[in-house]
Amino acid sequence: MQMPFVFDRYRSVIDAQLKSVMAPYRSPLYDMMRYHLGWIDERGNDLTDASGKALRPTLCLLSCEATGSDIARALPAAAAVELIHNFSLIHDDIQDDDGERRHRPTVWKVWGKAQAINAGTAMKILANMSLARSSRDALPPEKQQRMLASLDDATLKLIEGQYLDIDFEQRSEIDIDDYLAMIKGKTAALIACSMELGVLSGTDDADTIQRFRDFGENLGIAFQIRDDILGIWGDPNMTGKPLGSDIRRKKKSLPVVFALSRAADRQRDAIFKMLQKEILADDDVETFLGILDDMHVRASVQEMADGYCDKARRKIREAGIEPGSRGDFEHILEFLSARNY
């Protein structure tokens, strides 16, 4: 499954925008951010970017373009959502005690948790500042206020989702609704916001804004569910994580929550017993995977992802944008719901 070409289209303008936002900030605090973004190594040497998909800024610029507006107007917002996403990853790695991301040591692993907290929070502030500063001349102040409010609102929802995700680790009874509430905050809110900010650069039409937001939210949910699938059944060569990784970490991701909600008593007991173990042996992981297989959890969960993709597809069709733009969004949907990495 190749990444759709649309992710390359804006790559260089997004990078340039991010680099110009960061350029004035030279002290070591900001080097932690540059490291996290893959621009430098831990000694400060420049790296050739091995960047990720930049999903959120791409969606933001596509949404702006779909309304017939110049993407330059949405570039500050595109940089802002990417910085918010990355701030959340820096804190996430601390909170989950993850020592590696994208095949490199995480920020806290290099600089310690105390400083990584600073790097994350400061990056969140840079996101707001860059949105506020760069759009000051391009957009009327009321529009800018609305965009900042939307960004802060999405960030707060993201943190509420992260709160729930951590809280779930301690709780045994998580149902599918709990799970959905969590990922709507943790993943979907910022993706919906990315779409909204792009559209807002071009139009004030409430219906259009709502349809793009709805597309983003449903895409975000599907994206996270696919992420959960890859966290258990992903090819280690593609994901960089060992097989059954999320099982080993006893994460209450959708496949586990789904299995618990459908399991017969005996299977439930077996799953609970494993979730209570301090460390899962390879045998345990295999038993766990066996239960999931017996229950056809993978197919059921993928079906759920496909359902959210269908909803997203309907929303973007209703938005009445020209076929080229619509095709871009549909390619992204197809790719994200079936991706292997």
- Binding span for its own copies by CB under 8 A among 14-22, 157-165, 209-217, 231-239: 157-165
- Per CB under 8 A, 261 contacts its own copies: no
Burial class of 48 by CB neighbour count within 10 A (0 to 12, 13 to 18, 19+): exposed
- Per CB under 8 A, 155 contacts its own copies: yes
| Residue 115 vs 300, nearer CB to its own copies | 115
Least distance between its own copies and beta carbon 87 (Å):
8
Site for its own copies, residues 13 to 32, rule: CB under 8 A: 27-29
- Per CB under 8 A, 138 contacts its own copies: no
- Per CB under 8 A, 136 contacts its own copies: yes
The interface mask with its own copies, positions 72-111, x = CB under 8 A, is -------------------x--xxx---------------
| CA atoms of 131 and 138, how far apart (whole Å) | 11
Beta bridge partners of 101: 104
User: Quick one: which of 92, 81, 34 has its CA closest to 59?
Assistant: 81
| Residue 29 vs 243, nearer CB to its own copies | 29
Tell me the residue ranges of DSSP E strands in 88-244. Answer: 100-101, 104-105
Least distance between its own copies and beta carbon 160 (Å):
6
Residue choice 51, 69, 115, 267 for contact with its own copies (CB under 8 A): 115
Q: How many CA atoms lie within 13 A of 226 on its CB side?
A: 22
Residue choice 132, 138, 270, 275 for contact with its own copies (CB under 8 A): 132
Cβ count near 258 (within 10 Å): 22
| Residue 125 vs 281, nearer CB to its own copies | 125
| CA atoms of 224 and 182, how far apart (whole Å) | 11
The two three-digit tokens of residue 185, written as one number: 């905050």
Place of tokens 């993709």: 309
| Residue 140 vs 323, nearer CB to its own copies | 140
- Per CB under 8 A, 259 contacts its own copies: no
Burial class of 191 by CB neighbour count within 10 A (0 to 12, 13 to 18, 19+): buried
The two three-digit tokens of residue 125, written as one number: 């502030």
Task: Return the amino acid letter for 190.
Answer: L
Least distance between its own copies and beta carbon 164 (Å):
9
Contact 56, 89 (CB under 8 A): no
Torsion of Cα atoms, 337 then 187 then 124 then 214, to 10°: 90
| Residue 142 vs 278, nearer CB to its own copies | 142
Residue choice 3, 72, 117, 243 for contact with its own copies (CB under 8 A): 117
- Binding span for its own copies by CB under 8 A among 12-20, 145-153, 256-264, 319-327: 145-153
Give, to the nearest 10 degrees, the angle between helix 265-276 and helix 254-262: 140
- Binding residues for its own copies, rule: CB under 8 A, are 27-29, 91, 94-96, 112-115, 117-118, 120-122, 124-126, 128-129, 132-133, 136, 141-142, 144-145, 148-149, 152-153, 155-156, 159-160, 162-163, 166-167
